[in-house]
Structure 1
Amino acid sequence: MKQQQDYIRDISEIRSMMEKSTKFLSLSGWAGIMAGIYALIGAYIAYKVLYFNPDEIIYSSVSQRHYTGGIVKLVLLALSVLVLAVGTAVFFSSRRAAKRNEKFWNATSRRLLVNMGVPLVIGGILILILISKGFVGLVAPLTLIFYGLSLFIASRYTFEDVKILGLIQVVLGLISSYYIGYGLLFWALGFGVAHIAYGIYIHFKYER
């Protein structure tokens, strides 16, 4: 009986070692929570301060100077939210990796970054092209869809739960592409509320 228990323990340890070598398991729930909070703040600023109306597909009805100035402000706001979210994710995840006696930057985290990066870069380029053509209303849906696809792909290299978050983002993006006038609301739901819920779930499931 004792020998059988030893075999089971050895198999469990081998499985754990293999999982650590192929998956990045230091993602922090707090990083998701804070990213969601940043997104909600960003959406509020876009709506209340910058008066962003996502159902506008702008042509000659708005002056080019006003259009360009508004878009530049929105892009800067989006970049600020992105930098804060990424910086917070690096901080919390590296701290969690240290607690687990693991390296934050390793072959697995590099694979995770590359696989997330491909759909994000492609989506970013497409969004910039659409913005240059005045199709502002499609920005929110496409950011959700391409981000969701990147999470779905990245789930192979981290928690399987990330796949669910990715699918939620894609579904919200598809719905948003139909109800373009509510694009900012769906963006806030996807990047804000869904991230907060995911972060809380990950924290209680893996970090407590």
Structure 2
Amino acid sequence: MMERSSRVLSLSGLSGVFAGLSALIGGIYVYELFKANGMDYLSDEHRLYSANLVSELFWIGITILVFAFLFGIFFTIRKSRKYNLPIWTSVTKKLLFNLAVPLVTGGVFCLALMYHGHFGLVAPATLIFYGLALINAEKYTFSDIKYLGFSELILGCIALFNIGYGLIFWVLGFGILHIVYGLVMFKKYK
């Protein structure tokens, strides 16, 4: 009871699962997009991205983010109604602020990377800043989210040393890790 009053209602585990599924679908789409553009993603050859392809990848990423966000909202509202708990509280506002600062900063950083043509660093940077955001927001939700945050952070750091395989790390971080985290949270807080 005390934890519930001082922390925002956690996201439903299903929101993590559906966010992960969105990322997996997006990752498969991007892989197929590369193939359609004559690129063998898993080869060691150097890849050059056209401006149109970069733009399309950007919009695919935004679409996946929107779907993940909408799933999060949907399942959080559904869970809060089930337990008759308010959603928009002062703690919710603090959670969103603490989540937004690293995310927005990371978003600007990734845009700068893209602007300067450093596309290989975008996937690691998104994982790192997302991990930092989750760790930063942990104090306003159930503490289990920090494990997802540290996992994203570690995966992003590993990806920094494996430039050219960002799609694989991105799918692992935003897809597989979210699904695993979501299933664990669904079982734990059922």
Q: TM-score, normalised by structure 2?
A: 0.91
Question: Does 1:37 pair with 2:21?
Answer: yes
Question: Does 1:103 pair with 2:97?
Answer: no
Match of 1:128 among 85, 99, 111: 111
Question: Does 1:187 pair with 2:170?
Answer: yes
Question: Does 1:200 pair with 2:183?
Answer: yes
> Alpha-carbon deviation of 1:50?
4.0
1-structure distance, mates of 2:164, 2:68: 26
Q: Detail structure 1 runs of 4+ shifted over 3 Å in the superposition.
A: 50-58
Deviation digits for residues 22-67 of structure 1 (CA, Å, limit 9, x no counterpart):
2112310000000000001111111211457599988xxx5xxx72
1-structure distance, mates of 2:165, 2:62: 21
2-structure distance, mates of 1:100, 1:155: 21
Unpaired stretches in structure 1, ≥5 consecutive residues: 1-15
Kindly tell me: are residues 131 and 57 of structure 1, through their superposed partners in 2, closer, same or farther at Cα, counting changes over 3 Å? farther
Match of 1:73 among 42, 48, 56: 56
2:185 maps to a residue whose letter is I
Q: Is the 8 A contact 1:21 1:108 kept in 2?
A: no
Unpaired stretches in structure 2, ≥5 consecutive residues: none
Deviation digits for residues 152-203 of structure 1 (CA, Å, limit 9, x no counterpart):
1111111111001000000000000001122111111110000000000000
Question: Does 1:177 pair with 2:160?
Answer: yes
Q: Give the alignment of 1:152-163 within 5 angstroms.
A: 152-163=135-146
Question: Percent sequence identity over matched residues?
Answer: 44
Secondary structure of 2:189 counterpart: helix
> Alpha-carbon deviation of 1:75?
1.0
> Alpha-carbon deviation of 1:70?
1.0
Q: Is the 8 A contact 1:145 1:169 kept in 2?
A: yes
Between the two proteins, the alignment pairs up a number of residues equal to 185
1-structure distance, mates of 2:110, 2:46: 13
What is the alpha-carbon root mean square deviation over aligned residues? 1.9
Q: TM-score, normalised by structure 1?
A: 0.84
Instruction: Indicate the residue corresponding to 2:74 in structure 1.
Output: 91
Secondary structure of 2:74 counterpart: helix
Instruction: Indicate the residue corresponding to 1:20 in structure 2.
Output: 4
Q: Is the 8 A contact 1:57 1:134 kept in 2?
A: no
Instruction: Indicate the residue corresponding to 1:165 in structure 2.
Output: 148
Deviation digits for residues 88-119 of structure 1 (CA, Å, limit 9, x no counterpart):
11001111011111111221111111100000
Q: Is the 8 A contact 2:9 2:87 kept in 1?
A: no
Which is richer in helix? 1
Q: Is the 8 A contact 2:127 2:173 kept in 1?
A: yes
Q: Which has the larger radius of gyration?
A: 1
